[in-house]
Each structure stands twice: as structure tokens, then as C-alpha cells.
Structure 1
Amino acid sequence: MTKLMDLKIDFAFKQVFGKEGNEPILLAFLNATLQLPKEKRLSSVEILNPEINREHIEDKASVLDIHAKTEQGEHVNIEIQLANKFDMEKRTLYYWSRIYSAQMQKGMPYTELAKTITINILNFRFLRETERFHTTFHLYEDQEQFPLTDVMEIHFMEIPKLMDKWEQRAVNP
């Protein structure tokens, strides 16, 4: 009997989705996750170095699971997290902000900063407020819900909730 790789393990996940030559697999995942309209679906993606450069020697070293760039110039970070370390919100915003700010070059206008998308695949229940397994966050005004900007998009995909829906036959195969 052939033993299959568990894609929840960082190494296996990175080998399938973040390895040069596997861009079509990553592209299919991104199009399914981002649920873009047909005319805006991604047609190419570039896998980037997952290391976030330190500005100072005392800065925390950070290595993303997957860092990619779409043909529109959008940066995408995909993280898979097996255990709940109770820091997901801050960890997500930290990685998002580092990727977003790393785009800035000397003399570059702020208007050239590209959208940055973070996708977190979690092997634990994270958001108690919902039973949806895939949630998406943006920056909106509190009362009237209009967007401040479209440059921030954060996804959480919770595997335990997906499995519950699967067992209830509440998701498509």
C-alpha cells in the first residue's frame, strides 16, 4: 500500500504548492480560494523567496510558508498552521504588514503599493463567531460598511469546520 503525504505538514505543503514548476497547482488553489469572477481569474503566478528580510540584526527572522506574486502584481502569503498558538490575528497582521511594507522602494509613491493577500489554512477551530469554514476580511468603515481600501485581504480556512461540513454533505465534493 502506498503511503500518501499529509499536506498539512509544512514541508509537504510547500513541496506541492510552493515549489518552482508547480505554479499551475498554486494557481488552481488561488483561483478556487479567491473566488474571482471568470473575467478576473488569475492566469499566472510567480513563486517568490519566502524569507522576509530583516531591517536590523535584532529583528525577528520570518520565513513564510508560501510567498507568491500574481500577474497583477498582488502579493500572496499562504500559511498552514497545525496548532493553535493563540496568536493568529497578530501573526497574520504582522506577516501581512511585512510583505506590504517590503514593496516600498526609495522614491516610490505610496499609490504603487500592491494589494497583499494572506491565506491562513488552520487545522484548528479559530473563529467562534461563525461555523463557516472559509472567511474573508477587508478594511471597512464600521457603520456604513464601505471599504477604506482594497489592498488588504485576509482569508481563514478552518479544516475542522470544513470536515464537519463534508461529513454533513454540506459541501460539494
Structure 2
Amino acid sequence: MRIKDKYISPFTDFGFKKLFGSEPNKDILIDFLNELLQKDTGRITDLTYLSPEQLGRDADSRKAIFDIYCESESGEKFIVELQKAKQNYFKDRSIYYSTFPIQQQAEKGDWNFKLNAVYTIGILDFVFDEDKHDSAVFHHEVQLIDKKTNKVFYDKLTYVYLEMPKFNKTENELETHFDKWLYVLKNLEDLSSRPVKLQERIFAKLFEQAALGNYTEAEYAAYEESLKIYRDLKNSIDTAFDDGKAEGEIETLRLIAKKMKQKGDPVSTIIELTGLSQSQIDKL
């Protein structure tokens, strides 16, 4: 029996990649990125999806598996991550991830070190602990600045974090196209129809792609499994944090990984969802 939801949750691995990570839907991702970044250097007109699995510099180095990794027509690199549950050192992880597209730009021979811009975007289904008492600010855009002048020192490395639980606008309060995007991300799973205020062409396509009634049985089964993993993962880790048991997070992740391994889930999926290394998973 199918679940009663009409639309998929974009916070599941299946849902996020269905809407934003597939070639037929890249116009959806382009529209979202243009609204999110509002770049001074011009709007994104095309994207090429790159391999989300990034190898380290040698066999012993840790790999990185991005949710979405793509490149614009001008060579800018975009890492787009959906973080489903609280994670210690998430900011550290996003900084680490950004080193991969930086190093990949190195050229052999006589190279002047010129780099294309790198954007790391985190859509968070949680609130940073240090920001939990500040409900007004949920959209963080971070660059290197000169602390004395408070001016941007380097504008080719940008980190954007959206703390989605803080976004609480109702449909009637939506004013900008960006507001509408955040409303969709936050509420899509709970909607029964496309809201009146979201009648733009891009949202018409998004709702069509998100409608569970359009999915084959195989697609639906994949989504249902992804939804279960998301809810189990989020509930387990968030409960550990809320109970003041963050030190037990690794054990929680091991239990989830072990369950996924027993079900035959690919190791790459387990790594992506839990953040554990392959050697940790192999020992389970």
C-alpha cells in the first residue's frame, strides 16, 4: 500500500536527487542556485553534472561523496549538500569538501594559480547549536574577509548554509521568488496541491516531478526506502543530541550503517548517509 503523501520529501536522498540531481531537471537546480546566490558575475545559464564521488590524492586518503556536484558554463564549481540531521563538525566537513574542487583545478607545468570560484551549499534540516537562540537569521553566506576593514578579501570561495527549521513564512507571507523556493523545500512533503502563489513555470515542473502518483512501482519503492532511512537517521541522531548524548552519535551511526549493510545497501550510500569511513563500515 502506498503512503498517503502526494509529493516526495526533498530531504530524502531519493527526493533531493530526483528534483535537483538529474539531467532532465537541471533547470530546476539552475533556478534555485540563481535565486540563492544572486551572483554579481552573472546568472547561471547551464550546468554540467560531475561525478559526486571524489577520490583522495592517494589510496589512503579519505574520499568525499557529494549529494550534487556540478560546474557552470564559466567553470564555477558547485557542491550542493542536503544535511538531514545534526552532525558534529558539519562546518568542518563542508570546508574539507571544498578542497576537492580547488585541488582539481591545479594544472601541470607553468600554471599561474588562477582559480575559478567554488561554492559549497548546505541545505540543513537542523539548526546550528551556536545559532539556536537567533531565530531571525537562517541564511548564512560566508566568504574570507579582512577583519580590520570588514571587506571581502577573497570572493572565489563561498559557503552558503540554510537553516531550514528557522524559515516559518506562510504562503500568504511569501514575497520573493527566493521565499517561494524556501517554502517549497520546507513544506513540499506536507502539501496536497500546488499553492496559488507558486504558479511560475519552474514550480509547475517541480511539482510534476515531485508527484508520487507519477512514479513507477520501482521508483516508488526506492523513494519509500529512502524516506524510511531519512526518518530513522534523523530521529536517532537528533534524539542523541537533544538528550545531551552527542558523544554517542558514532555508535548510533554504526547501528544505522550495520542495519543498512545487512539489507544490502551499497557501501557508497551508507558512507554518504552516515559519514562513516569505508574501513569503519567494513568492520561492522
TM-score (norm 1): 0.88
Q: Secondary structure at the match of 2:24?
A: coil
2:39, 2:57 → 1: CA distance? 35
For residues 105-156 of structure 1, give each alpha carbon's deviation from its aligned partner in whole angstroms, at most 9, with x where no partner exists: 2123201x11100110000012517432211001000010122211111100
Deviation at 1:169, TM superposition (A): 6.4
Q: Does 1:151 align with 2:156?
A: yes
Q: CA offsets, 1:46-96, max 9 Å, x none?
A: 111111122211111211000111122100000000111121110010001
Residue 76 of structure 1 is aligned with which of 75, 78, 82? 78
Query: Hey, what does 2:21 align to over in structure 1?
Result: 18
- Structure number, greater radius of gyration: 2
Alpha-carbon displacement from aligned partner over 1:24-47 (angstroms, at most 9, x marks no partner): 11111111111236x821111111
| Letter of the 2:142 counterpart | F
Partner of 2:7: 4
Match of 2:143 in 1: 138
Identity of aligned residues (%): 28
**Higher-strand-fraction structure:** 1
Q: Distance in 2 between matches of 1:141 and 1:25?
A: 35
List alignment gaps of at least 5 residues for structure 2: 181-284
CA contact (8 A) 2:55 2:62 kept: no
* 1:62 aligned onto 2:70: no
TM alignment of 1:91-170, pairs within 5 A: 91-107=93-109, 108-111=111-114, 113-126=115-128, 128=131, 130=134, 131-162=136-167, 164=168, 166-167=169-170
Structure 1: which 5+ runs fail to align?
none
Partners of 2:172 and 2:92 lie apart in 1 by 33
Larger RCO (CA within 8 A; separation ≥ 6): 2
Give the CA RMSD over aligned residues.
2.1
Residue pair 1:64, 1:78 contacting (<8 A) in 2 also: yes
For 1:122 and 1:169, how far apart are their aligned partners in 2?
A: 24
What's the TM-score, normalizing by structure 2? Answer: 0.55
Q: Distance in 2 between matches of 1:36 and 1:146?
A: 17
Q: How much does 1:3 deviate?
A: 3.3
Aligned length: 169
